[in-house]
Structure 1
Amino acid sequence: MKCIVIGCGSIGLRHSRNFAAAGCEVAVIDQDAVRRDQAAQETGARAFATLDEALAWQPDMAVIAVPHRFHVPLALELLDRVRALLIEKPLTLSANEAKRFQDRAQQSDTLVRVVSNMRFHPGVASLREALDSIGEPHFARAHYGNYLPAMRADGDYRKLYCAHASEGGGVIYDAIHEMDYLCSFFGQATGCAGTFGRIGTLDIDVEDWASIVLTHATGMRSSIHLDYLRNPKSRGCEIVGTQGTILWESLGKAPEACRVTFADSKSRKTLFESAGIDTNQPYLDMAKNFTALVDGGVTDDDRLASVDDGAHVVALAETCKQSLGSSVALGAEFSREASHSCNR
């Protein structure tokens, strides 16, 4: 299997290494010749200066890992020119652009998926496996917090894309994973409300804090807290049901301690625990799953986010940023699975 990775930033390098580890022959593309050649040397990949050169190599699949505003234009150029396409999250920063891409992708023979590495995280995976144990779910509370200056220890946080509105930054779009995995659990959301702002002293022009409430078609409620202020990094989710509660708690980064527990009125048990998980493993598992799907070795599963999934969470994020605290109903075109029952 031949795979081209477009973009040689930190996430592009990660994808290059992981798709090579998944058994693919990898090539990288970047307009910056120095960064492109360095990425090729570090990962053992081929290097191409242009997309046309890379396509002449006849790749089977492509991974788009460039700034958000280029995701859809590149994806449109690649449809029907590769067998499969994996697009970094978020799919785009515009619900309208996401809808147009949805429509075009449905007419294409190219298999398209959106990066969903958190669905492969042991915390999220353990929650998914334990959903049956809590009976009918009432509500979920998810959170993510990571002090922005500590996000890249080797660089100035003010140079990161997530620090700038013009580059699609802000914690809502950056931490779109929480909305994604909750919708994969409980079905797409039919409405949301949110409040957000810049409440810290970071030198950024985007929100560093957000609180969001989703209403799923089943009546299930999910609340999400996101921030760039918490030190050390923390991530997790609590899901409360008629027969018990499951709780995922992750703390720290390199190492990241992770624990998932189940509790009811009579007992408590640990479902998963690690003092230091391999934080690259979810990305590698996703690369292996996607490669096997393209190669026909496995059937599709909902751990790989579809274009509809990717477009839906973009609509949610956009709606939350526009609602300013008021509950807003989402259009039917972004709730194509509104009748989807809870995935338990």
Structure 2
Amino acid sequence: MTQQRILVIGTGSIGMRHAGNIEQLGGIAERLSLRELGLEGVLKSIASAKAQGAVIATATQLRQPLIEACAANALPVYVEKPVAYTRQGLADFYNAAAPVADRSIAGFMMRYHPLLRPLQDIVAKDAVFRFDFEIGHDVTQWRANWSFADSYAALPQGGGVLLDLCHELDLAHTLFPNTALKTVESLGHDDFPGVDMATQIALAGPGQTGSVAMDYLAPVFSRVIRLRGQGAIAECDLLTGTITRRLPDAAPEITQVEFDRNAMFLGAMADFMALIDGKEAPSANPNIPRLDRARPSCEMIANAWADRQFCGTIKKDMT
């Protein structure tokens, strides 16, 4: 079988992770830096490359000409989340991606968390009617030698916590596909107008209500899902890989899995490389974020961003 050559557009930390995973899976990663080549240089490289696919790991607001070029050259894409952050931008992206969307991937790698399928089983068997997703971490502590103020996260267009931590909204939609967006309330910062530092989203549908909350502020990193059902209540800690399910008059049931964060990225990339060849995704993951099927989640993220209502500001040194 011919060794796959995949363009990796964007050479930040996530682009370099994808490039390493492509090579670990036996492919060739051809790195393209927007900073070094400029947009025109990258577009020329896409047009002339003898590649079978492309990873788009650039800032969200730079992607439209890239997807147009990739689709025009019949290159399926692995596009990082969020695919787009405005309603029109998302429509434009999907219109351009149509020729390759059924062989492409949206970068919702949390769908490869080993606890997702046990959570889906709990939602079904316990008749879950209430859910809460929470993720938070002090953004100034994310990485050494990294400044929030100088990063993509501080941009009013394409930045903010809702877009940065939108995996949780995708997970909520995956587990509760019949719920819809109701309200989006955000806290901002006087030094960064239009950038949400903490956001809470209300969702509701037939027989189910819930919330998704994310923030740049929590002093301890937390990532928790709480489910309340007619049969049991459950709490999932995605960081420790633990689900605790509590039933009436019985000892708690505890599910514990071992997992590596990069294994989720590897699973998504392996599926993408199989899709490039028109093969069945090797992970057999029923939640594979194939681009054409991931549009409802992408639309929920774009709609939530557009519907943010800023109800106050927080005080924090964000340098």
Does structure 1 residue 18 correspond to structure 2 residue 21? yes
The match for 1:139 is: 130
SS of 1:32's partner is: helix
Q: Which moved more, 1:265-274 or 1:67-76?
A: 265-274
Q: Distance in 1 between matches of 2:136 and 2:218?
A: 5
After superposition, the C-alpha distances for 1:136-192 in whole angstroms (9 at most, x for unaligned) are 2212110110100011223222222112213x1111111111111111122154332
The match for 2:108 is: 116
The match for 1:46 is: none
**In 2 relative to 1, CA 159–240 (structure 1 residues): closer, same or farther, beyond 3 Å?**
same
Q: Distance in 2 between matches of 1:78 and 1:211?
A: 35
CA contact (8 A) 2:52 2:75 kept: yes
Q: Distance in 1 between matches of 2:64 and 2:150?
A: 23
SS of 1:50's partner is: helix
Give the % identical residues: 21
* Structure 2 counterpart of 1:263, from 224, 238, 246: 246
**In 2 relative to 1, CA 249–55 (structure 1 residues): closer, same or farther, beyond 3 Å?**
same
Counterpart AA for 1:23: G
The match for 2:226 is: 238
Query: Normalising by the residue count of structure 2, what TM-score does the alignment of the two structures yield?
Result: 0.83
After superposition, the C-alpha distances for 1:191-228 in whole angstroms (9 at most, x for unaligned) are 321211126x9878611111111124x44223111100
**In 2 relative to 1, CA 295–52 (structure 1 residues): closer, same or farther, beyond 3 Å?**
same
Q: Distance in 1 between matches of 2:100 and 2:161?
A: 32
Alignment of 1:1-344 (within 5 A): 1-33=4-36, 50-107=42-99, 111-132=103-124, 134-166=125-157, 168-187=158-177, 189-198=179-188, 206-216=195-205, 218-251=206-239, 257-265=240-248, 266-274=250-258, 277-299=259-281, 301-307=285-291, 310-323=294-307
Counterpart AA for 2:6: C
Superposition CA RMSD, Å: 2.8
Counterpart AA for 1:24: G
**In 2 relative to 1, CA 10–267 (structure 1 residues): closer, same or farther, beyond 3 Å?**
same
CA contact (8 A) 2:199 2:214 kept: yes
**What is the Cα deviation at residue 6 of structure 1?**
0.4
CA contact (8 A) 2:199 2:213 kept: yes
After superposition, the C-alpha distances for 1:123-146 in whole angstroms (9 at most, x for unaligned) are 4344235444x4322121101101
Counterpart AA for 1:3: I
The match for 2:316 is: none
For structure 1, list consecutive stretches of 5 or more residues without a partner in the other structure: 35-48, 252-256, 327-344
Counterpart AA for 2:70: L
SS of 1:280's partner is: helix
Counterpart AA for 1:267: A
